[in-house]
Amino acid sequence: MIFKQLFQPKWQHKDAQVRLQAIQKLADSSILEQVAAKDIDTDVRKHALEKLNTLASWDKAMRHDSDVKLQKLALEKVKLMLFNQGVDLSQNDKEQYLAKCNHMPLLEDYARRGDDHNLRVQVIKRLDKASLNYDLAIRDNNEEVALICAQSIADSKQLEKIAQKAKHSKVKSWASEKLAELKAAAEKPAKIRKDASLLLSKLLALKDKTDYLQVKSTGEALLQQWQLVSTELTCLPEEEQLTLTNKFAQISDKFQSSLAQLEVEYNKAQQAEAALAQQQQIQQQVQQAIQTIQDKVANAIANEGDAELDDIVKLISDAKSLLSQDHIGGRVTEQLFNQLNGIEQNAAHLPEFAEQVALATRAVTQLNQWTLPQEIGDFDQAQEQFDSWFDDWKKLRKSMLFDLPVELNESSQTLINEWKNGLKSFSSQQNSAIKQLKGQMRELDRLIKSGRYNVALGLFRKISEGIDGLTSKSYSKIEREHQRLNEEINELEGWKSYIGLPRKRELVAEMDALVAQPMQDVHERAKQIKLARHTWRLLGNTDSEENSQLNEAFDIVVEKAFAPCREKFAELEAQRAANLAARNQLVDDAKAAKQAFENNGDYAELAKALTRLQNAWNKAGSVERSEYAKVSQAFFDIIRPLRARINTFHNDNAQQKKSLIEQAQECAQSEDLNQASEKLKALQQQWKNIGFAGANTENKLWGQFRAINDTVFNKKQADYQAEKDKQQVAFESIKSELDTIAGELDGATLELCYSKLEQVKAVSVEQCSPGQAKRLHKQINQLIDSCQKRIADLKQNVEQQNLQNWLVSLEGYVNSGTVDEAALNQLPSLLVNAIELAQNSPATGDASEQRRDLAIRMEIIAGIEPPVQDANRKMEIQVQLLSEKLNDGETPSGIQLLHDWLSLGPVQAQDKALFERVTKALLAM
């Protein structure tokens, strides 16, 4: 036993300090790994791990060590190794470790802070965590990593933020391009559907067109466009693709059929058009030939010979031959044939045509010798002479065998036009005078019928003066009507007194009746009196005593009838004077308003004052016309400049507000709604600070400005609601996940609890609102506590079960003094070490006493009352425990105490009863 104890390894010593010292000298990694994994003392395991300082050992401790602090230390050590701090780790080891590691927080930490960009990319892709990718795309210092993270994001909202906030311009550019692609992809089905439908509609519409060339070119272009669009139909549902393809096939067949029919019609039309062009060309050539023939005829006449007769006949024959090539025919062709036949017949009568030319020449010479009339008295004779000559001229022209020679034709036409224009001026003058006289005679007839004889007599005298300016031929056109009216006027002279006196008596009676009536309307009565005076004057006077009496009576009665009017007009005059004073006061008020504006510059107050003054001016009564002109000018000389200044002020304000509208439209086009809304709020404040722009303009501009604001803020509200809904979905999803984990904790194994704990720690709440994130963080912390408590309980249960198993094995050892190999392998190294120490130690007399003290110590720690006979020793040991607690700060563990109990040497018979107490105390701890 002594020799066995002597050669026992110190790393298996029962004293932890001894083991610690032994570890410092150990170089065997397998032993260090055993100690790091199985030693019951945390410090010993920690030092063994530090001695090993390998990624595998730290990783194992991080995942399986029972001490939470040592787990955290192991996690930090693993991080340091992965980040090449303190230990050089090969690239291959890093790759293999990161490929197998399931510790999500560690992987995420490496993804954020790792120094190997390729490994970081591998880890990022393995994690495939949206929030991590989003964060790194914006903040990561490495452009390549940031770009790869950005490329894994498909959410448009996140891409918008990346395009705005990313650290690298390349990432921003990619995000902007991706957003454009997503937008185009989202809009593509609708665009393709619209383009396809539009193409089909256009192709279908071509069947109703009749222009073959246009239909053909347009149709070919549409078919080519369809080939391009058809390759994009794959973005539509299969059923819709099939529908559009079938429609195209049907419409294409209809188009091809219609095009074939149009082609036939087009070819026919082209042939007809070619034939018509040929006909027009033939007709033009024949007309030129006829002109050539006419010229040759003129030359033959001028040379007084028939030397060119053969040429003329040949030209006629050639023209007929050419005209016979016209297979269409028609009126023009027939006329040309007739004209050629006529020329051919007349060609044999050139001497006769020469005589006709001579007659035409003498007629033109005769007209040229006559003189155009210079006075109205010569007009009738000149007109008659020209009309006779012109009739003879037309007959001569009609009988001509050929057209007149060009020079003679031009000179005759010029001379005829001169005579027509010269006679036209006199003719127009006479016609105008006749028209005026006819109108006057109609008016004279109306005056006679209405009894206005004096006016009729005056008008008749004017008509007589107008007739003096007419020629005899012109007068003959109105002679009968003039004579009839002359007879009626002569009759009027005899009936004047007979008709006038009775009418005057009636007027006096009417005025007497008017005097008896109460005056209702002063202006109406004044009008009646004025009309009566006018009628009286029209009736004229006769040389009779009764006429004088009626004139005197009429003057008296008219004065009586007008007396109330005079009084009323006096009242109105006074009222007009008062109105004038009121208007003058308005002029003074306008001056005061102008002065007030000059002092304070308040456009709003000025506008109110001008409106009030204008309304008061409009309501003010009438004044004398002469006075009104003065006061009106004074008033508006003040008002108009002020109103112009207001209009200028309103126009300036309108221009400023239009500028704000343009700025608002630019804001509305921005994709950053938050920035756009802030700018719009600033523009709204500027709008408030700008003055009024006029009633109509203000309302119109405000409507435009408000519509733009409403559009942006409604869109922002929609985006806010969409973001809120997205946050709610994320919140509910995370909460559901957490609730599920919480439900799975009951009955979960230790390994599952560790997995769930890592799962809970890996939960990200970035997509939730701050309030939701706060609630979730609270739930996450509670769930972490629950997981840790469950892990602690499970560990305790495992330790308790292990302890029971160990105690069962040790019970056999205590009773028999031996332990089989299988039981020994199940015991922890610390207890195996204790048994080896016991077997290698001699039996001592105080061993049992020491074991009793250790049993009492265990009972005190477990809260079990020792037997009565040990009461005094209990008090002493309690004092020792208290002192150790105060000095060392820690209480030995039950396993350590069991180790100490077993290592005191071979178990004696009296120790077996103590082991029962030890078992009970350990199970109660």
Q: Give Dmax over CA atoms of the chain in angstroms.
A: 190
294: confidence class by pLDDT, cuts 50, 70, 90: low
**CA-CA distances (angstroms) from residue 748 to 675, 751, 755, 791?**
51, 8, 10, 9
Q: Where are the alpha helices (DSSP H) in 746-890?
A: 750-761, 770-816, 821-826, 829-839, 847-862, 871-888
Q: What angle do CA 333, 337, 343 make, to 5 degrees?
A: 140
7: confidence class by pLDDT, cuts 50, 70, 90: very low
Contact indicator for 233, 244 with CB cutoff of 8 Å: yes
Question: What is the pLDDT of the chain when averaged over all its residues?
Answer: 78
Q: What is the rounded end-to-end Cα distance, in angstroms, of the chain?
A: 33
Neighbours of 595 (CB within 10 A): 10
Look at residue 300 in the predicted model and tell me its pLDDT. Answer: 58
Quickly list DSSP for 627-652. Answer: HHHHHHHHHHHHHHHHHHHHHHHHHH
Average pLDDT over residues 454-476: 74
Look at residue 477 in the predicted model and tell me its pLDDT. Answer: 78
Average pLDDT over residues 32-56: 83
Which residue has tokens 């509208």? 661
**Digit-coded pLDDT (tens) for 216-264:** 888 888 888 888 888 877 888 888 878 888 888 888 888 888 888 888 8
Contact indicator for 508, 553 with CB cutoff of 8 Å: yes
Alpha-carbon distance 610 to 589, whole Å? 10
What is the token pair recorded at 347?
A: 């060609």
Look at residue 4 in the predicted model and tell me its pLDDT. Answer: 36
Average pLDDT over residues 372-400: 77
Angle between helices 350-369 and 238-303 (to 10 degrees): 90
Q: Is pLDDT above 60 for 656? A: yes
Q: Is pLDDT above 60 for 881? A: yes
**Digit-coded pLDDT (tens) for 319-362:** 767 767 775 667 777 676 676 666 665 655 566 666 667 777 77
Q: Is pLDDT above 80 for 87? A: no
**Digit-coded pLDDT (tens) for 678-730:** 888 888 888 888 888 777 788 888 888 888 888 888 887 887 787 888 888 78
Contact indicator for 108, 129 with CB cutoff of 8 Å: yes
Alpha-carbon distance 391 to 367, whole Å? 13
Angle between helices 522-539 and 479-516 (to 10 degrees): 140
**Digit-coded pLDDT (tens) for 121-179:** 888 888 888 888 888 888 888 888 888 888 888 888 888 888 888 888 888 888 888 88
Contact indicator for 638, 586 with CB cutoff of 8 Å: no
Alpha-carbon distance 729 to 750, whole Å? 32
Q: What is the pTM of this model?
A: 0.36
Q: Is pLDDT above 70 for 298? A: no
Q: Is pLDDT above 80 for 473? A: no
Contact indicator for 175, 150 with CB cutoff of 8 Å: yes
Look at residue 86 in the predicted model and tell me its pLDDT. Answer: 54
77: confidence class by pLDDT, cuts 50, 70, 90: confident
Picking from 390, 474, 385, 482, the residue whose alpha carbon sits closest to that of residue 429 is 474
- Length of the chain, in residues: 925
**Digit-coded pLDDT (tens) for 863-872:** 888 888 888 8
Alpha-carbon distance 699 to 702, whole Å? 5
Mark residue 540 as left, alpha or beta (left: phi above 0; alpha: psi -120 to 50; beta: remaining): left
Alpha-carbon distance 334 to 339, whole Å? 9
Q: Which range has the worst mean pLDDT, 57-71, 717-731, 797-811?
A: 797-811
Half-sphere exposure of 547 (CA within 13 A, CB side): 14
Alpha-carbon distance 212 to 265, whole Å? 8
Alpha-carbon distance 356 to 402, whole Å? 9
Look at residue 692 in the predicted model and tell me its pLDDT. Answer: 80
Among the ranges 293-307, 444-458, 907-921, which has the highest mean pLDDT value?
Answer: 907-921
Neighbours of 454 (CB within 10 A): 16
- DSSP class of residue 66 equals S
Q: Which range has the worst mean pLDDT, 131-135, 290-294, 716-720, 732-736?
A: 290-294
Contact indicator for 284, 387 with CB cutoff of 8 Å: no
* Three-state SS at 540: coil
**CA-CA distances (angstroms) from residue 783 to 70, 106, 758, 790?**
22, 20, 11, 10
Look at residue 2 in the predicted model and tell me its pLDDT. Answer: 33
**Digit-coded pLDDT (tens) for 827-868:** 777 777 777 777 766 666 677 788 888 888 888 888 888 888
What percent of the chain has pLDDT above 90? 0
Which residue has tokens 């020799």? 3
